[in-house]
Chains A and B, each alone.
Chain A
Amino acid sequence: MVTTIKQIQRGLAQKKFSSVEITQQFLDRIDSHNPTINCFITVTGELALQQAKSADLVIAKGEARALTGIPIAHKDIFCTDGIKTSCASRMLDNFIAPYDATIIEKFKLDGAVMLGKTNMDEFAMGSSSENSYYGPVANPWDMERVPGGSSGGSAAAVAASLAPAATGTDTGGSIRQPAALCGISGIKPTYGRVSRYGMIAFGSSLDQGGPLARSAEDCAILLQTMAGFDPRDSTSIDRAVPDYSEQLNADIKGLKIGLPKELFAEGLDADIAKVIETAIQEYRRLGAEVVDIQLPNSNLAIPVYYVVAPAECSSNLSRFDGVRFGHRCDNPNDLEDLYKRSRAEGFGDEVKRRIMIGTYVLSAGYYDAYYLKAQQLRRLIKQDYEKAFEQVDVILCPVTPEVAFKQGAKTDDPVSMYLQDIYTLSLNLAGLPGMSIPAGFSQQLPVGMQLIGNYFDESRLLNVAHQFQQVTDWHLKTPEVG
Chain B
Amino acid sequence: MLSLRAFQLQRRKYPEMTLKNEDVRNIAQLARLQIDDSTIEQLTSDLSNILALAEQMKAVDTTNVIPMAHPMDAIQRLRDDEVTETDQRDKFQGIAPDVENGFYRVPKVIE
Is B79 interfacial (CB 8 A cutoff)?
yes
Tell me the residues in window 42-95 of chain B with beta carbons closer than 8 Å to chain A beta carbons.
43, 46-47, 49-51, 53-58, 60, 62, 65-72, 74, 76-77, 79, 88, 91-92, 94-95
Q: Kindly name the residue among B3, B65, B66, B68 whose own CB sees the greatest number of chain A CB atoms within 10 A.
A: B68
Is A96 interfacial (CB 8 A cutoff)?
yes
Residues of B within 8 A of A234 (CB): 76-77
Q: Encode contact with A along B18-59: 1 for CB under 8 Å, 0 otherwise.
A: 000001100110111111100000010011011101111110
Q: Encode contact with A along B91-102: 1 for CB under 8 Å, 0 otherwise.
A: 110111110000
Are B57's CB and A373's CB within 8 A?
A: yes
Is A356 interfacial (CB 8 A cutoff)?
yes
Contact of A335 (CB < 8 Å), options: B27, B94, B109? B109
Once A339-B32, A353-B43 are accepted as A-B contacts, the answer to whether A418 and B104 lie under 8 Å apart by CB is no
Once A205-B69, A353-B46 are accepted as A-B contacts, the answer to whether A361 and B54 lie under 8 Å apart by CB is yes
Q: How distant is the Cα of A306 from the Cα of B65 in the complex, in angstroms?
A: 20
Q: Kindly name the residue among B23, B33, B36, B107 whose own CB sees the greatest number of chain A CB atoms within 10 A.
A: B33
Residues of A within 8 A of B11 (CB): 415
Are A266's CB and B5's CB within 8 A?
A: yes
Residues of A within 8 A of B79 (CB): 231
Are A235's CB and B4's CB within 8 A?
A: no
Q: How distant is the Cα of A337 from the Cα of B97 in the complex, in angstroms?
A: 15
Q: How distant is the Cα of A343 from the Cα of B69 in the complex, in angstroms?
A: 28
Are A382's CB and B68's CB within 8 A?
A: yes
Query: Which label, helix, strand, loop or mixed, suits the secondary structure of the B interface?
Result: loop
Is A431 interfacial (CB 8 A cutoff)?
yes
Expressed in whole angstroms, the minimum distance between the Cβ of A11 and any Cβ of chain B is: 39
Expressed in whole angstroms, the minimum distance between the Cβ of B61 and any Cβ of chain A is: 10
- A-B pairs with beta carbons under 8 A, tally: 192
Are A98's CB and B76's CB within 8 A?
A: no
Is A167 interfacial (CB 8 A cutoff)?
no
Contact of B98 (CB < 8 Å), options: A96, A328, A334, A418? A328
Is A52 interfacial (CB 8 A cutoff)?
no
Are B27's CB and A340's CB within 8 A?
A: no
Tell me the residues in window 305-362 of chain A with beta carbons closer than 8 Å to chain B beta carbons.
306-307, 314, 318, 321-328, 332-341, 343-344, 347, 352-353, 355-357, 359-361
Is A422 interfacial (CB 8 A cutoff)?
yes
Q: How distant is the Cα of A344 from the Cα of B104 in the complex, in angstroms?
A: 21
Are B71's CB and A422's CB within 8 A?
A: no
Q: How distant is the Cα of A93 from the Cα of B27 in the complex, in angstroms?
A: 26
Query: Which label, helix, strand, loop or mixed, suits the secondary structure of the A interface?
Result: helix
Residues of B within 8 A of A94 (CB): 95
Is A14 interfacial (CB 8 A cutoff)?
no
Once A335-B106, A360-B27 are accepted as A-B contacts, the answer to whether A299 and B4 lie under 8 Å apart by CB is no
Are A324's CB and B96's CB within 8 A?
A: yes
Residues of A within 8 A of B67 (CB): 372, 375-376, 378-379
Once A265-B1, A324-B96 are accepted as A-B contacts, the answer to whether A340 and B46 lie under 8 Å apart by CB is no
Which of under 10, 10 to 19, 20 to 34, or 35 or more describes the interface residues of B? Answer: 35 or more
Expressed in whole angstroms, the minimum distance between the Cβ of A166 and any Cβ of chain B is: 25
Once A325-B95, A375-B69, A379-B68 are accepted as A-B contacts, the answer to whether A343 and B32 lie under 8 Å apart by CB is yes
Are B65's CB and A266's CB within 8 A?
A: no
Residues of A within 8 A of B92 (CB): 98, 324-325
Are B74's CB and A359's CB within 8 A?
A: no
Residues of B within 8 A of A192 (CB): 71-72, 74
Are B24's CB and A304's CB within 8 A?
A: no
Residues of B within 8 A of A378 (CB): 67-68
Is A123 interfacial (CB 8 A cutoff)?
no
Q: Kindly name the residue among B32, B35, B65, B70 whose own CB sees the greatest number of chain A CB atoms within 10 A.
A: B32
Q: How distant is the Cα of A67 from the Cα of B87 in the complex, in angstroms?
A: 32
Residues of B within 8 A of A323 (CB): 96-97, 104, 106
Q: How distant is the Cα of A401 from the Cα of B5 in the complex, in angstroms?
A: 12
Is A78 interfacial (CB 8 A cutoff)?
no
Are B33's CB and A340's CB within 8 A?
A: yes
Once A234-B76, A344-B33 are accepted as A-B contacts, the answer to whether A419 and B7 lie under 8 Å apart by CB is yes
Residues of B within 8 A of A326 (CB): 97
Is A380 interfacial (CB 8 A cutoff)?
yes
19 A-B interface contacts by CB (under 8 A): A306-B50, A306-B54, A322-B97, A325-B96, A327-B97, A333-B107, A334-B107, A335-B106, A335-B107, A340-B34, A343-B31, A357-B50, A372-B67, A373-B58, A401-B4, A413-B49, A414-B50, A418-B50, A431-B70
A residues sitting closer than 8 Å to B (CB atoms) are 94-96, 98, 191-192, 205, 231, 234-235, 237, 262-263, 265-267, 297-300, 302-304, 306-307, 314, 318, 321-328, 332-341, 343-344, 347, 352-353, 355-357, 359-361, 363, 369-370, 372-380, 382, 401, 413-415, 418-419, 422, 430-432, 455
Q: 5 tightest CB-CB pairs across the interface, nearest first? A: A431-B71, A375-B67, A267-B3, A344-B34, A267-B4
